[in-house]
Amino acid sequence: MIKYIMVISMAFYCAVGYSQTGTNAKYVFLFIGDGMGVNQIYATEMYVDAKPGEIKVDRLLMTDFPVSSNMTTYSANTFVTGSAAAGTAMSTGFKTDNGILGKSPDKSIVYESISVKLKRAGFKVGILSSVMIDHATPASFYAHQDSRNMYYDISMELPTYDIDYFGGGGFHYRKGKNGDQPDSYENAIKYGYTIADSHDEFNKLKNGDEKVIAINPERYPLGEFYWVIDKREGALSLADFTQKGIEILDNDKGFFMMIEGGKIDWACHGNDGVTMIHEVLAFNDAIKEAYAFYLEHPDETLIIVTADHETGSMYTGINYAMHPELLQYQVISVQEFKRKMNDIKENNENNMVSFLQILDTIQSDFGLGNSAIGLGLDDNEKALLKRAYGNQFEGGNEVNPDADYLVSEEIKSIGETAAYILNKKAGIGWGSNDHSGMPVPVRVLGAGQEEFSRFFDNTDLPKKIQKVMGM
């Protein structure tokens, strides 16, 4: 008899999901910090409120979540994944080759995304990113294309799944790469979408609105947010888009929201540690919005924070030393500093800018050269900067601020050199400009959190989410 009851209760337990309370997660937030490994989080925690000589760490909200585990990242064809393959695994439960979006490695099978499954089951769905909404990670949650680079095709596919809310960055190419294709905005409108890309339109969005594409009015030409460190006045943040998502999607049946901090990865590709830290802090602010919602619905809300892979093989500590307090003196992203150098060069065509003038700018933007704050430059470091200055101002080398970052061994631009020197002095090192194969952190809070408590494969993530949502 006892045995019989146990079987019955086990069956009941499984049928209703996996949370301790026996209730399913109705509201699920999946935060993906693109490129955010353990060290990216940890460096941020060392940076917050860092003071000279003080050894302490200020934990971010996610670090105090009750479940803390790890997840694999490898793709079908390599130990070192790309964002499209990682996103496909996390969205569909299948591994694919790097570069492919929502399809099998031979591209013959289309894998269905968890967003589409949840939408069909009656949940509202939101997909958010601080980079273009047709970029690899957000696209993995709706699109199926042979290549992640088919941005225009992805943008045309975007409105075909009735997903309730897209928020954040814009489309790469509204009319295709050559500007001669049908407008993807108009295509979305044809499918019944409203596009809000001004502050007024954004502010008017409200609970119950359906089929919304909300785009940050302050963004780079290709559609990604400006760098957080560069502090654009009045720009909407990832937290604003998350808060708006909660407002729009909140309903009795529940919702699923994927929120990507996309530029953590971009800063890591450029080995720009301070810019990365500001992106992690903005990502953390978005998590706080979900946490405030969780506090109102603690039994029915689940927050998962993870990453698709680590970027930069970043490490904390060089020769047993870390001086995170030195990082506060960098006040500009390397990308904007490159632009600044280009402007100086352009405006002084016939009037050569001296290395000393540039050293002044480096000091005000990176602190470098100021020994009073512990950032004096030795002869080697000056020589590195001089070489970069020579390349950029005398050698006639063009520095494209939007181009891919250079590898540290062949540092060419002044901004990259300055960041490299500052990172090194602060104890932040980089193994590469690319992704690494390490597992990523998983931090979870809320209904069904136990499901995530042991090391798991990235393909298990959507299965676990579906399970805790009672599907």
Report the nearest approach of Zn ion to the CB of residue 228 (Å). 18
Q: Which is nearer to Zn ion, 289 or 308 (CB)?
A: 308
Going by C-alpha positions, the residue among 301, 379, 294 that lies closest to residue 21 is 301
Indicate whether 436 belongs to the interface with Zn ion (CB under 5 A). no
Residues 148-207 that bind Zn ion (CB under 5 A): none
Report the nearest approach of Zn ion to the CB of residue 437 (Å). 13
Report the nearest approach of Zn ion to the CB of residue 60 (Å). 20
| Cα torsion 281, 132, 316, 230: sign | negative
Q: In one letter, which amino acid is 50? A: A
Report the nearest approach of Zn ion to the CB of residue 139 (Å). 11
Q: What is the DSSP string of 224-261?
A: PBPPGGG--TT---HHHHHHHHHHHH--SS-EEEEEEE
Within 10 Å of residue 119's Cβ, how many Cβ atoms?
19
Report the nearest approach of Zn ion to the CB of residue 162 (Å). 26
Going by C-alpha positions, the residue among 441, 161, 180, 420 that lies closest to residue 287 is 441
Are 463 and 96 in contact by the 8 Å Cβ rule? The answer is no
Question: What residue has token string 């209760």?
Answer: 9
Going by C-alpha positions, the residue among 409, 410, 408 that lies closest to residue 397 is 410
What are the structure tokens assigned to 43, written together? 């460096």
Beta-strand runs (E) in 312-369: 314-316
Q: Which is nearer to Zn ion, 270 or 367 (CB)?
A: 270
Q: Which is nearer to Zn ion, 125 or 307 (CB)?
A: 307
Q: In one letter, which amino acid is 36? A: M
The interface mask with Zn ion, positions 22-41, x = CB under 5 A, is ------------x-------
Report the nearest approach of Zn ion to the CB of residue 410 (Å). 24
Q: Which is nearer to Zn ion, 308 or 416 (CB)?
A: 308
Q: Which is nearer to Zn ion, 136 or 322 (CB)?
A: 136
Specify the stretch interacting with Zn ion by CB under 5 A; choose among 171-179, 307-315, 416-424, 457-465: 307-315
Indicate whether 325 belongs to the interface with Zn ion (CB under 5 A). no
Size of the site for Zn ion (CB under 5 A): 4
Report the nearest approach of Zn ion to the CB of residue 241 (Å). 19
Q: Which is nearer to Zn ion, 103 or 263 (CB)?
A: 263
Which residues have a Cβ under 8 Å from the Cβ of 12 and sit 6 or more positions away?
Answer: none
Specify the stretch interacting with Zn ion by CB under 5 A; choose among 45-53, 81-89, 91-99, 412-420: 81-89
d(CA 303, CA 42): 20
Q: Which is nearer to Zn ion, 137 or 330 (CB)?
A: 137
Cα 388 to the chain's mean position, in Å?
30
The interface mask with Zn ion, positions 93-112, x = CB under 5 A, is --------------------
Q: Which is nearer to Zn ion, 119 or 309 (CB)?
A: 309
What are the structure tokens assigned to 207, written together? 């609970």
Q: Which is nearer to Zn ion, 285 or 308 (CB)?
A: 308
Are 89 and 461 in contact by the 8 Å Cβ rule? The answer is yes
| CA distances for 350 relative to 344, 361, 386, 393, angstroms | 12, 20, 20, 12
Specify the stretch interacting with Zn ion by CB under 5 A; choose among 78-86, 156-164, 237-245, 351-359: 78-86
Report the nearest approach of Zn ion to the CB of residue 132 (Å). 13
Q: In one letter, which amino acid is 64? A: D
The b-or-e profile of 346-377 (16+ CB within 10 A means b, else e) is: eeeeeeebebeebbebbbebbbbbeeeeebeb
Indicate whether 308 belongs to the interface with Zn ion (CB under 5 A). yes
Report the nearest approach of Zn ion to the CB of residue 309 (Å). 6
d(CA 443, CA 161): 29
Report the nearest approach of Zn ion to the CB of residue 76 (Å). 16
Residue number closest to Zn ion, CB atom: 83
Q: Which 8-state DSSP code applies to residue 35?
A: B
Residues 262-301 that bind Zn ion (CB under 5 A): 265
Specify the stretch interacting with Zn ion by CB under 5 A; choose among 306-314, 377-385, 391-399, 418-426: 306-314
Indicate whether 83 belongs to the interface with Zn ion (CB under 5 A). yes
Query: Which residues would be at the binding site for Zn ion (CB under 5 A)?
Result: 34, 83, 265, 308
